[in-house]
């Protein structure tokens, strides 16, 4: 699966199943559970189930999951945002994201 637009569309659908909670660490902040981002700890199986795409490889699932960060950032900051998260910090991206 090489098409970034398709991966982002699938990530947007996947995020509807995100396991949201409040993390009380430090000041506290909303988060998606990093161990069970879509409900269970077998993340690739969750992704295949939530998307109804049983033929996705583990690499496909990882690639879609990484795009969830970009989709969230675009929804929260907008496409034209030039804040430090969007423009200046390559290290703000998850490893492996395009």
Residue in 43, 37, 44 with CA at minimum distance from that of residue 71 = 37
Residues binding Zn ion (CB under 5 A)? 77, 81, 83, 85-86
* Cβ proximity to Zn ion, 53 vs 93, nearer residue: 93
The distance of closest approach from Cβ of residue 77 to Zn ion in the complex, given in angstroms and rounded to an integer, is: 3
* Cβ proximity to Zn ion, 26 vs 80, nearer residue: 80
* Cβ proximity to Zn ion, 8 vs 77, nearer residue: 77
The distance of closest approach from Cβ of residue 95 to Zn ion in the complex, given in angstroms and rounded to an integer, is: 20
Burial 38-74 (b: 16+ CB within 10 A, else e): beeeebbebbbebbeeeebeeebbbbbbbbbbbbebe
């Amino acid at each position: 699966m090489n098409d970034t637009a398709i991966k982002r569309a699938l990530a947007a659908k996947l995020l509807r199943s995100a396991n949201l909670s409040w993390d009380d660490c430090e000041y506290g902040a909303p988060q998606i559970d990093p161990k069970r981002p879509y409900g269970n700890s077998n993340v690739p199986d969750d992704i295949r189930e939530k998307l109804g795409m049983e033929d996705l490889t583990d690499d496909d699932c990882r690639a879609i999951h990484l795009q969830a960060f970009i989709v969230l950032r675009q929804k929260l900051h907008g496409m034209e945002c030039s804040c430090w998260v969007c423009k200046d910090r390559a290290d703000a991206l998850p490893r492996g994201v395009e």
